[in-house]
Structure 1
Amino acid sequence: MGVTIERIFSGNGRDYPESGDIVSIHYVGKLNDGSTFDSTYDRGRPFIVEIGIGKVIQGWDNGVPQLSKGEKVLMTVPPELAYGERGVPPIIPPNSTLKFEMELIDIVRPSDVLDLDRLCSFAPRIAAVA
């Protein structure tokens, strides 16, 4: 069984993250009993991570690329694509299905970061000429 996604509201329908992109996501993570185990809203800032390269649970690496920028969904991740038999005691019990209400806020492509780095390297030269 894979990740299931229920759309709460649609994104722009154009910009989808790809493996290696950096995404900014607001989410609330809940267990099947409805209890919250994590929330970016409680921390006051979105979660920023490189997607598709194993830095998050496999369910996120599989599911997030299906979202377009601005989209809000309820993503259900089965245990085998989350923390499996080990869980994350005492927060997430073993063999837990996880439910994430998540919103894809932004996507930054590696090429965008390189362009910004390149642009910043010109700043001292531009200031010297001005």
Structure 2
Amino acid sequence: MAVSTLSLVTPMPHAIQISTPKPRITPCSSSVSRCRCSLNSSPPINLKKVFNLGLGLLAASVVGFSPLDANATRIEYYATVAEPSCELEFARSGLGYCDVAVGSGEVAPLGELINVHYTARFADGTVFDSSYKRARPLTMRIGLGKVIKGLDQGILGGEGVPPMLVGGRRKLQIPPQLAYGPEPAGCFSGDCNIPANATLVYDINFVDIYKGNRK
């Protein structure tokens, strides 16, 4: 199933370095395409102009978000504060995981669409993608190889990894063999956003199960 901009707020505790804007990556399976990703080819947003016009206006323009939701999303994204640290456990596959908050809702149904917010980083903490930038969660199908293996296992569970529950927040450390492997990914016009053999760190917020699944 990010994140990508320059920080525009006063530094906060645990703030992390943020990379220069690059094309958005959908964390898709390697079977989707040779480049292993779905790219948004729109030109990068001029963040200085956005800031001058008011970040609230940008966030509030997203359909379905109240001013309060937009403000919370803006703060959460632009502050880019990492989830609290937690002690990773490791599955036999090499996936590292730990729960920041367990959640109290349903488990993710195999093969169904779910909504997640995420921030994706390299091992050094540099953000390369985030759903918070787009002010809405990512809808993805879980358990059928539509996303990288580390996200399927990290959200759906398996091999000793407990399934996530709606409302849960989990940190995942995804080794290259469960991510994009020995080839670069996120490639656009010869520039690849993710280097070969990269270990990725995802902060996952399991928002809900996509309502379109329900009859």
The interval holding the TM-score normalised by the smaller chain is 0.7 to 0.9
Partner of 1:55: 146
**1:106 and 2:197 correspond:** no
Alignment size in residue pairs: 112
Q: Which amino acid aligns with 2:134?
A: R
Alignment of structure 1 residues 1-130 onto 2, 5 Å: 1-12=93-104, 14-65=105-156, 66-88=163-185, 89=187, 90-108=192-210, 112=214, 115=215
Give 5+ residue unaligned stretches, structure 2.
1-92, 157-162
Partner of 2:64: none
- Answer 1 or 2: higher relative contact order, Cα 8 Å, separation at least 6: 1
1:108 is displaced (CA, Å) by: 3.6
1:68 is displaced (CA, Å) by: 0.5
- What is the aligned-residue identity percentage? 33
- Give distance in 2, aligned partners of 1:48 and 1:2: 26
Per-residue Cα deviation, 1:104-123 (whole angstroms, up to 9, x for no partner): 000148861xx1xxxxxxxx
Per-residue Cα deviation, 1:13-39 (whole angstroms, up to 9, x for no partner): x51112211110000000011111100
- Give distance in 2, aligned partners of 1:8 and 1:70: 11
Query: How much is the aligned-residue C-alpha RMSD, in angstroms?
Result: 1.6
- Give distance in 2, aligned partners of 1:106 and 1:60: 16
1:3 is displaced (CA, Å) by: 1.7
Q: Is the CA contact (8 Å cut-off) linking 1:69 and 1:106 kept in structure 2?
A: yes
- Give distance in 2, aligned partners of 1:105 and 1:46: 8
- Give distance in 2, aligned partners of 1:55 and 1:22: 11
Q: Which amino acid aligns with 1:5?
A: Y
- Name whichever structure is richer in helix by fraction: 1
- Give distance in 2, aligned partners of 1:48 and 1:74: 18
- Give distance in 1, aligned partners of 2:121 and 2:171: 10
- Give distance in 2, aligned partners of 1:84 and 1:42: 26
Give 5+ residue unaligned stretches, structure 1.
116-130
1:99 is displaced (CA, Å) by: 0.3
Partner of 2:84: none
